[in-house]
Chain A
Amino acid sequence: MRTIEIIVSPKGETTVQTKGFAGSSCREASKFIEQALGQRTGERLTAEFHQQAVQQQVSQQGN
């Protein structure tokens, strides 16, 4: 199952995490959320990203 988890903090900062996506497709999958919520301030890739299996992407939106 491919899911996108979005956590919005009490200060309005947003963290986007994709699960179940292979390789770089996660970036494409979460692109619409990033465009809607603001500029990306950081990104963290997991080992799965490089194994072309699962990728995690973290983005933050500031004020």
Chain B
Amino acid sequence: MIAPAKSRRRKSRSRQIAEQFLAMLPLIREQARHAFRGERPERREELIAEVVANCWMSYVRLIDRGLHDVIYPTPLARFAIRQTRDGRRVGSKSNIKDVGSEYAQRRQGFTVETLDCLDQETGEWREILIEDRHAGPAETAAARIDVGDWFAGLGVQLPKWRYPAVCQLDTGEIRFDNFNGRWGEQQHLDRFLQMYAVEKAKIEARRRGNTCTEQQLADGSIKLTVNAGGAA
């Protein structure tokens, strides 16, 4: 009965690998907790879990390459922490054009935050938006009037914009106030709209099973060619 013997040996080996990793886990967690000590508790736990997952992937890859002797928790943790800080996530691609991707947000210098999940009774977002020490009394008063309309939507914080642009998801309308460029350059919003249109068109084309190629044009436009298949 050779097969059961091999199977037992394989299970034993797998258990041994897992136990060795578990032995390193407290030190990995400690380093991750220290690295992300400035984050909010929920966010910190997410990042620590991400570091652990990243370490496990690296650990398994090193074992597969026969490099068991060079595996130490500190280098594993440091590498994982750097990747996590960079927005890279285990099991998902780093798409710089995906506005929802943390990697893209970090590289392109913007953040995406939802406004409609907050408690409107407490007005938490309203206060966050208004409490800007750069704003004068007149600006604050104007913001108090305008910002109430912004709650039901997806907030997009564009680079160097004082206030987020808010996308009304049901109508497609974008509300923003950049004070004729003084509170934020229009080109950042234009760039965001261009990226959104390109990615949305590609997603829709692929959803229908069509292939799609992308080409950057000299005037800054982006040309997508969707192959709809067949002859007329």
Contact = CB atoms under 8 A, between A and B. Distances in A.
Nearest to B203: A36
Contact of A54 (B197, B203, B223, B232): B232
B231 A1 contact: yes
Contacts of B219: 9-10
What's the interface size class on B, roughly?
Answer: 20 to 34
A4 B217 contact: no
Contact of A21 (B200, B221, B227, B232): B232
Given A7-B221, A8-B224, A32-B204, A53 B197 contact: no
Contacts of A3: 225-228
Interface residues of A, number: 27
B222 to A, nearest CB: 5
B6 interface: no
A29 B221 contact: no
Nearest to A14: B197
Nearest to B210: A4
Interface stretch (B89-97, B109-117, B188-196): B188-196
A63 B165 CA distance: 12
A45 interface: no
Nearest to A37: B197
A11 B193 contact: yes
A29 B228 CA distance: 8
A61 B197 contact: yes
Interface in A23-49: 25, 29, 32-33, 36-38
Q: Which of A6, A11, A54, A61 has most B Cβ within 10 Å?
A: A6
B223 A5 contact: yes
Contacts of B221: 7-10
Interface string B123-140: 000000000000000000
Given A6-B201, A10-B219, A20-B228, 6 more contacts: A1-B231, A4-B225, A7-B224, A29-B228, A37-B197, A63-B193
